[in-house]
Chains A and B, each alone.
Chain A
Amino acid sequence: MSGLLLVTQGAISQGVLWGIMVLGVYITYKLLDIPDLTADGSFTLGGCVCTVAILSGVNPVLATIMGLFAGLLAGAVTGILHTVFEIPAILAGILTQIGLWSVNLRIMGGKSNNPLLQTESMISFVSENTGVSQSQAALIVGIILVVIVIAALYWFFGTEVGAALRATGDNADMIRALGVNINNTKLIALSLSNGLIGLSGAMVAQMQKYADINMGRGAIVIGLAAIVIGEVLMNRVKNFGFKLFSAVVGAMIYFLIRAYAIQLGLNVNDMQLISALLVAAALAIPVAMRKWREKAAYTEDDLYASEHAASSEGDKHADRDKGRA
């Protein structure tokens, strides 16, 4: 396979597995209207828990599920800080994220890197049993997981609890007056979101064959970037399932751009800046465009002069226009 094709395939696999994290970010950012900064920590947590479990002999599938639950717990911590103790959501997320840094190091026994080496993972299992490459196996497992997660989220957000959760993000005062404890819905959303982020971290760790204390750095920005890219590309979709799908597509595009940029000689470490610029631009451009258009469209002349002149003689607009002429 040619180099470029290989790079493309690797990026798509990465995008799909990170896409699960993006779905988690979607829940808090788009549905609950909270940018939850727990993400960076819970992603790493998922990876750490999963690799440590696999290395201590736990079945890789079970280890992956443990990564999911670890993320879920991290989200619950943020949720409790935010709802019970009324700490602003952004700060609550930062607190959990910072705390998780120490927790993650502890989990990995003080090392900042935990390699899986030749140990079996979900991805190596698929690759060995079907004969496909690691990266193809990652893609296959990733697609299956993404389909399951999107289907589950589509179902969940159509249920009574899920609808109450969406309403919490839309109009908290209203849904409280309709009998919903919004502390519960926020807690569920933050847990669910970080559970998915932990799952994604577990899968990414298995794909790259190691967990690293910094593997989740900037995850939230990647998540936002992917969501924004997905929205720009598929801005017409209305169906909730397709919206979720577009977020995963956004993740794939993000990792493609990233892979090509690195191919062109860009330093991996520059990607943080590029991600940040990408998100800032995506959020700023529509605002700048609107302002520019408003300015450009303004004119001192009566834009609707012809209509006014055409209307009846007694029309005061028409009179005024005549006066000016």
Chain B
Amino acid sequence: MIEIKNVSKTFNKGTVNEKRALDNLNLTINDGDFITVIGGNGAGKSTMLNAIAGVFPVDCGKIEIDGVNVTRDPEFKRAKYIGRVFQDPMKGTAAGMQIEENLSLAYRRGKRRGLGWQIKAEEREIYKKELSRLGLGLEERLTDRVGLLSGGQRQAVTLLMATLKRPQLLLLDEHTAALDPATAATVLRLTREIVEGEKLTALMVTHNMKDAIAIGNRLIMMDRGSIIYNVSGDEKERLTVEDLLHKFEEASGTEFSNDRMILSR
């Protein structure tokens, strides 16, 4: 279980660029929750995921993962709980290293790294098996450099890397947004297969409202650094895109002006 209590984050405090990106954020994530996150540009979705991952220190509040207070832990220490896939397919993999090397780096997420050999023979079998799940033929290309792969292939590999060692929480930040529609659909299908198949706990930011409604068991909407709408179960099942737009206008008092969201309904 992940507990986020009264977390706020202000960027550039005391300057003209001061921006409170998270404003008293509260959220409880139960084990096995697959939560989709929506909200306009600048609502604070990425900032929330970064705060959970520990990319920057927060100003106040508390973040607990399975009862452990990680609020003051740096990103690399929280990595043992968290798997991440970024929007940019280039960000999640080391381009100059081989596919199997990338996987072996992820296989050791959160573990102490010593002077043992990086890739053991028996691990290769695991990587082959996992890669074959993607259905992209990458299991035959273990020693190819990741830089040779397409954006979609790289994003699929990143997804595999984030879940290779079961994370307590998987953070997906618009991880299909930079891909062409067909590839995005493939990566999204893989995401569902992995998250639902292994009953992972995940937060997925998306600008596609239909996806947000169709996927996962919970949905949260953010605006100005807080969660303004939080639904689960049957109520979420019955949601329509119109409901969400209406909810947004009602809660924030503004017209929904996100082109990407309007377009993708």
- The answer, yes or no, to whether A174 is at the interface (CB within 8 Å) is yes
- Give 20 new A-B contacts, CB below 8 A, not counting A160-B113, A178-B161: A156-B115, A160-B108, A161-B115, A162-B118, A163-B101, A164-B105, A166-B94, A166-B97, A167-B105, A171-B94, A174-B92, A175-B94, A175-B105, A178-B105, A178-B108, A178-B109, A179-B80, A179-B108, A180-B79, A181-B74
B117 surroundings in chain A (CB, below 8 A): 158-160
CA distance A180 to B80 in the complex (A): 10
Check A176 against B75 for contact (C-beta < 8 Å).
yes
A179 surroundings in chain B (CB, below 8 A): 76-77, 79-80, 108-111
B-side residues, CB < 8 A to A, are: 53, 74-77, 79-80, 82, 84, 86, 91-97, 101, 104-106, 108-111, 113-118, 161
Check A181 against B76 for contact (C-beta < 8 Å).
yes
Check A159 against B118 for contact (C-beta < 8 Å).
yes
- The answer, yes or no, to whether A182 is at the interface (CB within 8 Å) is yes
- The smallest beta-carbon distance between A162 and chain B, in angstroms, is 7
Other-chain contact of A159, B77, B84, B115 (Cβ < 8 Å)? B115
Check A164 against B113 for contact (C-beta < 8 Å).
yes
Most B-side CB within 10 Å, residue of A156, A160, A161, A180: A160
Selected A-B contacts with CB under 8 Å, 9 pairs: A159-B117, A163-B101, A163-B105, A167-B94, A170-B94, A173-B91, A174-B105, A176-B79, A179-B108
Check A163 against B106 for contact (C-beta < 8 Å).
no
A181 surroundings in chain B (CB, below 8 A): 74, 76
How many residue pairs between the two chains, A and B, have CB atoms under 8 Å in the bound complex?
80
Check B118 against A170 for contact (C-beta < 8 Å).
no
Check B95 against A171 for contact (C-beta < 8 Å).
yes
Contact-residue bracket for chain A: 20 to 34
CA distance A173 to B91 in the complex (A): 7
Check A160 against B97 for contact (C-beta < 8 Å).
no
CA distance A290 to B255 in the complex (A): 50
CA distance A182 to B127 in the complex (A): 25
B97: nearest chain-A partner, CB-CB: A170
Check A174 against B76 for contact (C-beta < 8 Å).
no
A177: nearest chain-B partner, CB-CB: B84
CA distance A164 to B86 in the complex (A): 20
CA distance A177 to B105 in the complex (A): 11
B105 surroundings in chain A (CB, below 8 A): 163-164, 167, 174-175, 178
CA distance A93 to B137 in the complex (A): 45
B97 surroundings in chain A (CB, below 8 A): 163, 166-167, 170
A178: nearest chain-B partner, CB-CB: B109
